[in-house]
């Protein structure tokens, strides 16, 4: 696909031409408070995309300044998911490693007389902040002397005050039209064990103070973030400049990825996990990268999706069908074709011998490859592929009719057998002689082609099929949970060649869809597959 220049690249191009920078350094800064989701993939593709395009660098930096919600499990999952998506970071860094330097920067601001310790509680601070239409009021503690502020801040650090009793605030402008500049909080007192620094600290920096410093310490040139931080940019610049970084990194905002029928907030995804609605963060229905990996989405397809979505300056919602489209296109190019029967009935074919066929793996391959599939007079076919009383326009096997077995003979109906409830148990056919491809009777007109599996040579399979986690609509997420989003077919049969595949291998099950072998594939003779996507969809990609 032709890559056009987006507005971020234009900024970078200008900065390179003007000589402001000669190396581009970006970063991906996740907070380790959950698993990465498809929205993060968008940010990853942009940040690592810049590294590749400009032969620069991209750091993986954990924004771990809030000990309350962070966990080492998340740190590990994030690394695994980024690597899986195909990106290599230049350095693995932790904001918590900068706590000392950040503290020193805060002391510097106090010394400059532009930060002060405030004793108001959260409610009072909010009250004094004012509104969008009215200015705020100065804190009564705003005019403390530098010496007093230094002393109090040191005591905050040394644990002399209880949680929430004091904060360090920037002294900017309580009348600023930008509420973020109304003496924002820089540090708070908080006792909680941090996953890396343990109990070393009982004060923690706020995001708006920490983030520009993290970027500046690392020499980040372009700090790419989502639109909701646009109003924070003046504060970002205030912090970096007053802490001695000028010009320092430039913050650039782009539109957050949003998708219909998809939850993209870690907080809410965590709720689904904690309340047991899904089977962990990597449940194949989750919009997390690990869930998509388990489901069988190719990493390349996710990157292609992000590329197609593009980089925008205003928020919009992308149709989930577009991701499915990218996944399907990718698998159509890359997945081998095999035969699996989901809901089997028996077919007896009279007067045939055991045979072995070479089945083409993928018609899209330039260099053709094949796998072996055995055939005999006893097969499994799909229950739906034979009907005693067929609906109109039915194109498969009917009483008295003929159908082609994919890659094999044309067969003609002879008889069938029902159980006590009138369900079909088996159907008996005869093979038309010389009707295989290239044979004299191969050209006979038949209604359809059906897939089959040799009943004397197969593996038992379990198929997991999924629907969206949310039913369509605008209501609250919790009222839109799809209770039927996981279906299990544990009676399926697959051709023998599937015996030798590996976990996460993906296939097109002919006429059914794309499926991927689950992570524990073949262990204890369990052959389970997740359906990745169906074969066709109504989504129309705009060219
Ligand atoms: P969430 O609200 O899901 O918790 P977050 O923004 O708090 O997301 P972070 O871990 O802070 O999650 O995000 C790391 C990076 O990924 C940030 O730069 C953030 O802007 C970006 N990011 C997160 N969600 C999206 C999204 N939906 N689209 C694009 N970028 C995103
Ligand atoms: Mg966040």
As a CATH number, domain 338-534 is 2.40.240.10
Residue ID of nearest Cα to ligand 1 atom 26: 39
Contact 238, 172 (CB under 8 A): yes
Nearest ligand to the CA of 75 is: 1
| pLDDT tens digit at each of 543 positions of the chain | 445 689 999 999 999 999 999 999 999 999 999 999 999 999 999 999 999 999 999 999 999 999 888 889 999 999 999 999 999 999 999 999 999 999 999 999 999 999 999 999 999 999 999 999 999 999 999 999 999 999 999 999 999 999 999 999 999 999 999 999 999 999 999 999 999 999 999 999 999 999 999 999 999 999 999 999 999 999 999 999 999 999 999 999 999 999 988 989 999 999 999 999 999 999 999 999 999 999 999 999 999 999 999 998 888 899 999 999 999 999 999 999 999 999 999 999 999 999 999 999 999 999 999 999 999 999 999 999 999 999 999 999 999 999 999 999 999 999 999 999 999 999 999 999 999 999 999 999 898 999 999 999 999 999 999 999 988 877 777 788 898 999 999 999 999 999 999 999 999 999 999 999 999 999 988 999 999 999 987 667 665
Q: Which residues of 398-431 are buried (b: 16+ CB within 10 A; e: fewer)?
A: beebbbbbbbbbbbbbeebeeeeeeeeebbbbbb
Residue with token string 């593996």:
459
Ligand 1 near 340 CB (within 6 A): no
Find the catalytic residue in 171, 240, 266, 285: 266
pLDDT at 470: 86
Ligand 1 near 225 CB (within 6 A): yes
Ligand 1 near 230 CB (within 6 A): no
Contact 534, 515 (CB under 8 A): no
Query: Shortest CA distance to 87 belongs to which of 36, 48, 37?
Result: 48
Cβ neighbours around 147 below 10 Å, total: 10
Residues spanned by CATH 3.40.50.620 within the chain? Answer: 7-254
| 3-state class (DSSP) for residue 514 | strand
Distances (CA, A) of 472 to 38, 295, 344, 487, 513: 19, 21, 33, 19, 23
Distance 109 CA to ligand 2 centre (A): 25
**Measured between alpha carbons, how far is 64 from 70 in angstroms, rounded to an integer?**
7
Residue with token string 């400009």:
54
* Residues near 143 by beta carbon (within 8 Å), at least 6 away in sequence: 116
| 3-state class (DSSP) for residue 428 | strand
* Residues near 505 by beta carbon (within 8 Å), at least 6 away in sequence: 516, 517, 521
pTM above 0.85, yes or no: yes
Ligand 1 near 233 CB (within 6 A): no
Ligand 1 near 39 CB (within 6 A): yes
Nearest 5°: the CA angle 299, 304, 307 is: 130
Contact 431, 416 (CB under 8 A): no
Cβ neighbours around 188 below 10 Å, total: 18
DSSP-assigned letters across all residues of 202-218: SEEE-HHHHHHHHHHHT
Distances (CA, A) of 323 to 329, 431, 468, 514: 10, 43, 13, 14
Which CATH fold topology does 7-254 show?
Answer: Rossmann fold (3.40.50)
Distance 39 CA to ligand 1 centre (A): 7
Residues spanned by CATH 2.40.240.10 within the chain? Answer: 338-534
* Residues near 512 by beta carbon (within 8 Å), at least 6 away in sequence: 340, 342, 451, 535
Ligand 1 near 265 CB (within 6 A): yes
Ligand 1 near 29 CB (within 6 A): yes
| 3-state class (DSSP) for residue 381 | strand
Ligand 1 near 32 CB (within 6 A): no
* Residues near 120 by beta carbon (within 8 Å), at least 6 away in sequence: 128, 139, 140, 141
Nearest ligand to the CA of 229 is: 1
Contact 424, 381 (CB under 8 A): no
Query: Shortest CA distance to 15 belongs to which of 265, 195, 220, 216?
Result: 220
Distance 38 CA to ligand 1 centre (A): 10
Query: Shortest CA distance to 520 belongs to which of 462, 459, 457?
Result: 462
Ligand 1 mutation pick, 6, 39, 236, max ligand atoms within 8 A of CB: 39
Contact 131, 232 (CB under 8 A): no
- Token pair in block for residue 41: 């993939």
Ligand 1 near 300 CB (within 6 A): no
Distance 316 CA to ligand 2 centre (A): 20
Find the catalytic residue in 79, 129, 137, 256: 256
- Token pair in block for residue 299: 């990493």
Ligand 1 mutation pick, 222, 226, 302, 307, max ligand atoms within 8 A of CB: 226
Residue with token string 């639109």:
227
- Pairing outcome for strands 257-259 and 336-338: unpaired
Distance 314 CA to ligand 2 centre (A): 19
Ligand 1 mutation pick, 6, 38, 40, max ligand atoms within 8 A of CB: 40
Which residues on adjacent β-strands are paired with residue 412?
402, 430
Contact 490, 507 (CB under 8 A): no
Nearest ligand to the CA of 267 is: 1
Distance 31 CA to ligand 2 centre (A): 6
Distance 357 CA to ligand 2 centre (A): 55
| Residue 31 is a catalytic residue | yes
Contact 51, 57 (CB under 8 A): yes
Strands (E), 171-236: 185-189, 203-205, 222-226
């Amino acid at each position: 696909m032709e890559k056009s220049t987006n507005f971020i690249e234009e900024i970078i191009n200008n900065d390179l031409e003007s000589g402001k920078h000669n190396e581009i350094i970006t970063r991906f800064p996740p907070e380790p408070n959950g698993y990465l989701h498809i929205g993060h993939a968008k940010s990853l593709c942009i940040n690592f995309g810049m590294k590749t395009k400009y032969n620069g660098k991209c750091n993986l930096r954990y924004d771990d300044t809030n000990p309350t919600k962070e966990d080492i499990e998340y740190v590990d999952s994030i690394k695994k998911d980024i690597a899986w998506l195909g990106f290599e970071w230049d350095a693995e860094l932790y904001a918590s490693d900068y706590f000392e330097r950040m503290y020193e920067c805060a002391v510097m601001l106090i010394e400059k007389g532009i930060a002060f310790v405030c004793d108001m509680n959260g409610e009072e601070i909010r009250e004094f902040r004012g509104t969008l239409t009215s200015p705020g009021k100065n804190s009564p503690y705003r005019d403390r002397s530098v010496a007093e502020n230094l002393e109090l801040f040191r005591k905050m650090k040394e644990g002399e005050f209880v949680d929430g009793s004091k904060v360090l605030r920037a002294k900017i402008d309580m009348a600023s039209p930008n509420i973020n500049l109304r003496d924002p909080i820089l540090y708070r007192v908080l006792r909680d064990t941090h996953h890396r620094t343990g109990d070393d600290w009982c004060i923690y920096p706020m995001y708006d103070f920490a983030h520009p410093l993290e970027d500046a310490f690392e020499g980040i040139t372009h700090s790419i973030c989502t639109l909701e931080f646009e109003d924070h940019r003046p504060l970002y610049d205030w912090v970096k400049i007053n802490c001695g970084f000028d010009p320092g990194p430039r913050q650039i905002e782009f539109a957050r990825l949003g998708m219909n029928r998809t939850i993209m907030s870690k907080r809410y995804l965590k709720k689904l996990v904690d309340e047991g609605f899904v089977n962990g963060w990597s449940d194949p229905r989750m919009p997390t990268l690990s869930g998509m990996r388990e489901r069988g989405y190719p990493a390349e397809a996710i990157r292609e999706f992000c590329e197609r979505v593009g980089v925008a300056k205003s928020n919009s919602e992308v149709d989930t069908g577009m991701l499915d489209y990218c996944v399907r296109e990718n698998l159509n190019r890359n997945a081998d074709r095999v035969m699996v029967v989901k809901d089997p009935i028996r077919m007896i074919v009279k007067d045939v011998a055991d045979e072995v066929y070479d089945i083409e793996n993928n018609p899209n391959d330039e260099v053709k490859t094949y796998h072996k599939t055995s055939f005999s007079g006893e097969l499994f076919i799909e229950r739906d592929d034979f009907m005693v009383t067929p609906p109109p326009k039915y194109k498969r096997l009917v009483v008295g009719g003929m159908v082609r077995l994919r890659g094999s003979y044309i067969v003609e109906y002879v008889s069938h057998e029902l159980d006590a409830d009138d369900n079909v148990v088996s159907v008996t056919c005869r093979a038309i002689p010389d009707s295989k491809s290239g044979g004299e009777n191969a050209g006979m007109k038949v209604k359809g082609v059906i897939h089959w599996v040799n009943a004397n040579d197969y593996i038992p399979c379990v198929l997991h099929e999924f629907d969206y986690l949310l039913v369509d609509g605008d209501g609250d997420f919790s009222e839109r949970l799809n209770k039927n989003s996981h279906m299990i077919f544990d009676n399926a049969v697959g051709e023998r060649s599937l015996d030798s595949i590996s976990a996460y291998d993906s296939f097109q099950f002919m006429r059914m869809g794309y499926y991927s072998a689950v992570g524990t594939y073949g262990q204890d003779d369990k052959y389970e597959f997740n359906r990745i996507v169906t074969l066709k969809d109504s989504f129309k990609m705009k060219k």
